Chains A and B, each alone.
Chain A
């Protein structure tokens, strides 16, 4: 059985290599044309934040098109960028688009294509007896105050002002942050830098790891979540999915319009929709206007070379990435509490993918 499969896939790849591109056939189930990608093995590496989404989507894509296998190794954005630079992977993933400096060894930002693959949002989780889930209200000023060490007790007047009716204890605040470099930290510090000039001046702005004014570091979303659950009086920032999975208490956050919102995936999409012309060079969507916007949100990115040396592989890659940004691919993100890309960003991705060429001809056969 296995041998037959190998023979079949070999035959298919020979055929496809001969024509060197994807073929378009009629899909009987939907009636519309579906792109049939050529057989290829694709490898990617990079950010760990979107990895559960990529893994689920890759599995589903392989079920749909058994001739394409995609292996996403994770390893962190830094690893993804350096492996893409050395061309040991076909695509890299990063929570922050490439800076000009990072892109330089790849030939500059105009030699690469960067697409947004999904959206995430960050929650403020806390451990306070007598304060229920969603009961605590935080603003940009109070979050910055806590993380700068200006607000050290839970019954600080600044916190009490926003939380009338909530019995805040006289407890010390324990700040927990990520110890490992992370896209979540980037989004959170991007938010703090946007709402607090003081924070920006003290820490130098957003970063995947930064020099924290105070607090303890724990590894990964899971590590931060556990330490908050263990430590009475603790507060920290955690990816929304982890808050929902571990049933932690999370705060309502005041957005730019002055509404207190509980972070949700829909809130992240709402925030993303507020920005027109989001691109790899203008990617920040924190502190968004709009009454439904979740204030601490951000995109995750996939990076590939604009000029693909291997036409077959390049075709399979753009076909897959296009699929990932369509509603069919995005459903796997939504299932895991990531937010769906707004249609404006999906169109940006499609345009960007159309720029990918091999030997001078465009690879994406979607119009």
Chain B
């Protein structure tokens, strides 16, 4: 192959023709544009971080690190703390992953591995893309009008009845709160979870798979003891990227979380998340410390999201050696 290519290419001339020089100049211009664009992205990211940090300063100087542990959110007395919102963000995202992980991994295995029901792959892939394409406000609207009564009248009472011995499922359900928000988030992160896991599973070397089957392992055994252990790191990355999406989701969560800054063990109770507080209160937040506290919440959220995303990308890249993670 390489031999054939070499034969077809003419030997390079010793002196560059004017046409070639023009191309070289063109390359330089292109390079400059590309570098400029890259630098601009860095600049925008830098300005963004600074622009988020500066308005947060009045709150950072007033509350310091105590902001992270205070449970008070009182705009009248100008006392603010992020703990209930951090708690709500983490709890709803955790619920989303607990629900989305098994479903997502199952769907991904089906798409990547199962050869029998091949005709279902097309519709399933289409459904995933459809789900990924629904704007979050539409999902929120659906959740607000249809999911919340369903949770209140069916799902929550069932959980309370069967798992009510756990503090998680105690209390009277209103249909709004951590659990409903978690279910909404699960629906929203499923497409990412499935698409990334599928890519990671497909990247498992064919030789390993065939080797396992050749040794007499069944399909299920191959998946369980060869493919999943090999893809473990990549799947972890997919989970973390889904987590990144769940942490920042705003509007759909705001519509069903109940918007109450409290920390409770019951998942039926209302809560609050970092993005929801910001979305709810920025319009009428008057005064440096109040507005600054909203920016401070923004800083907290960006820090959490960046940490999760960096970790996820490192894991996925290490595994696939490509940038499928950015898809």
Contacts and interface: CB of A to CB of B under 8 A. Distances in A.
Given A179-B254, A216-B259, A209 B174 contact: no
A198 B195 CA distance: 56
Interface stretch (B12-20, B182-190, B221-229, B280-288): B280-288
A215 interface: yes
Interface in B22-75: 72-75
Contacts of A75: 283
Contacts of B77: 204, 211
A218 B280 CA distance: 9
B75 A211 contact: yes
A211 B73 contact: yes
Nearest to B284: A181
B284 A172 contact: no
Given A180-B280, A209-B75, A231-B174, A218 B259 contact: yes
Contacts of B270: 216-217
B202 interface: no
Interface in B249-269: 254-255, 258-261
A211 B260 CA distance: 9
A204 B285 CA distance: 17
Contact of A208 (B75, B149, B254): B75
A77 B174 contact: no
B6 interface: no
Interface residues of A, number: 36
Contact of A180 (B174, B283, B286): B283
B75 A210 contact: yes
A209 B259 CA distance: 12
Contacts of A284: none
A355 to B, nearest CB: 24
A79 B76 contact: no
Contacts of B93: none
Nearest to B75: A209
Contacts of B283: 48, 75-79, 180-181
Contacts of A223: 255
A205 to B, nearest CB: 6
A133 interface: no
B176 interface: yes
Interface string A5-38: 0000000000000000000000000000000000
Contact of B75 (A77, A174, A207, A230): A207
Nearest to B288: A101
B291 interface: yes
B299 to A, nearest CB: 19
A203 B74 CA distance: 8
Contacts of A183: 284
Nearest to B290: A78
Q: Which of B174, B255, B259 has the most CB of A within 10 A?
A: B259
B254 A210 contact: no
Contact of B284 (A209, A215, A216, A218): A209
Given A78-B286, A209-B75, A181 B280 contact: yes
B172 interface: yes
B258 A216 contact: yes
A161 B255 CA distance: 36
22 contacts: A48-B283, A76-B282, A174-B174, A179-B254, A179-B276, A179-B280, A181-B280, A182-B284, A204-B76, A206-B76, A207-B76, A208-B284, A211-B76, A211-B77, A216-B258, A217-B258, A217-B280, A219-B254, A223-B255, A226-B145, A230-B148, A230-B175
